[in-house]
Amino acid sequence: MSRILVKATITAISGLGIMLLGGCEPGHKQTSQNGYRGAGLNQIVDARHVVPAAVIPPEAYALPPDGGPLAGQSYQNLKVLGGISKDRFDHLMANINQWVAPPAAGCTYCHNPANMASDEKYTKVVARQMLLMTQTINSQWSPHVKQTGVTCYTCHRGNAVPVNKWANAVGAPNPDSITGNRYGQNAPNADVGYASLPSNGFAEYLNGAKNIRLAADTALPSKDHVVSVKDAEKTYGLMVHLSTALGVNCTYCHNTQSFRAWNLSRPQRATAWYGIRMVRDINQHHIGILQSVFPDYRKGPLGDPYKVNCTTCHQGQAKPLGGVSMIAQAPALKGPTPAAPTVVAVPAAPSAPLALNDAPALLARK
């Protein structure tokens, strides 16, 4: 009898285990085939983790027709938007009030109401540079943002400071100890999907121009391509960040037959290639030059300004804001205004922006 009871107990427990395991996958996974069957390009999405569509705020008021006196003729000290009409300038300022400024502050977040032309508030100097940055993104980085474009709301989403940002990590490496500072390794961090991967690769890959490529043309390292295990882990950390930021898996860009081969990759890989370089341009030539402008409480623990990464715009979606374009609400952000000077009252950028014509031969796809 005891053996029968034991068998019955084991059978019951096994059945319960199967039921519990079955409950781990209750039909929430959705798959879609991208490319030819067997190419390893399937996208797997857990419906429970899909980021809901962002609520697009309405315009402050309808976009006025173009024409009439220029903003530069009506207001003083306009260094970026002086060449658009006064009516459209007012419309853009009203929208920015909703997209960026804290509700309690309104216009006074950037301006002294007694002297609107004054640059005494650092927020106005920063906002001017951000306007120039947005125009640069929309006019020079179309290989990434396409015709959808970006506005202030793409990153800010109603916050004075974007929620998703990064700065250099705290602590200096200690060569005499493996404890304390972890060199960004094995520290629970959402930026690398909480994986045991370095989370300090942003400084090298999204602010610096360190080569991200791992695979070489030869089986053994050569003088032209030497990648350490440490570098490989940083690259994987960056790739996990990209996957998390866009809410996709690796095959959104890569073919598992060969992660390295461009001719087997999806077109999205080329878009991502430009996106990484766009982020570098933003951090180096629009945010980094504001080092002396930001107050200490708006800087990271090591005193550098907070910078952007892929999550800053995408926030869990393959296309920011689900692909909805808001650029029609702010046509002045499409590119530099011809009649407006583009020199901003901050230190000059350290070097010229990255060129767009140095991409690998990634258009010759099968």
Q: What is the pLDDT of residues 239-249, one digit of tens each?
A: 999 999 999 99
Q: What is the CATH number of the domain that holds 150?
A: 1.10.468.10
Q: Looking at the domain assignment, is residue 166 inside a domain? A: yes
SS (H, E, C) the chain: CHHHHHHHHHHHHHHHHHHHHHHHCCCCEEEECCCCCCCCCCEEEEHHHCCCCCCCCCCCCCCCCCCCCEHHHHCCCCCCCCCCEHHHHHHHHHHHHHHCCCCCCHHHHCCECCECCCCCCHHHHHHHHHHHHHHHHHHHCHHHHCCCCCCHHHHHCCCCCCCCCECCCCCCCCCCCCCCCCCCCCCCCHHHCCCCCCCCCHHHHHHCCCCCCCCCCCCCCECCECCCHHHHHHHHHHHHHHHHHHCCCHHHCCECCECCCCCCCCHHHHHHHHHHHHHHHHHHHHHHHHCCCCCHHHECCCCCECECCHHHHHCCCCCHHHHCCCHHHCHHHHCCCCCCCCCCCCCCCCCCCCCCCCCCCCCCCC
Q: Looking at the domain assignment, is residue 353 inside a domain? A: no
**Range of the structural domain that residue 251 is part of:** 69-170+209-218+246-334
Q: Looking at the domain assignment, is residue 330 inside a domain? A: yes
Q: Looking at the domain assignment, is residue 56 inside a domain? A: no
Total domain count for the chain? 1
Q: Looking at the domain assignment, is residue 112 inside a domain? A: yes
Q: What is the pLDDT of residues 117-167, one digit of tens each?
A: 999 999 999 999 999 999 999 999 999 999 999 999 999 999 999 999 999
Q: Looking at the domain assignment, is residue 133 inside a domain? A: yes
Q: What is the pLDDT of residues 321-358, one digit of tens each?
A: 999 999 999 999 998 876 544 334 443 333 334 344 44
Mean pLDDT of 287-313: 95
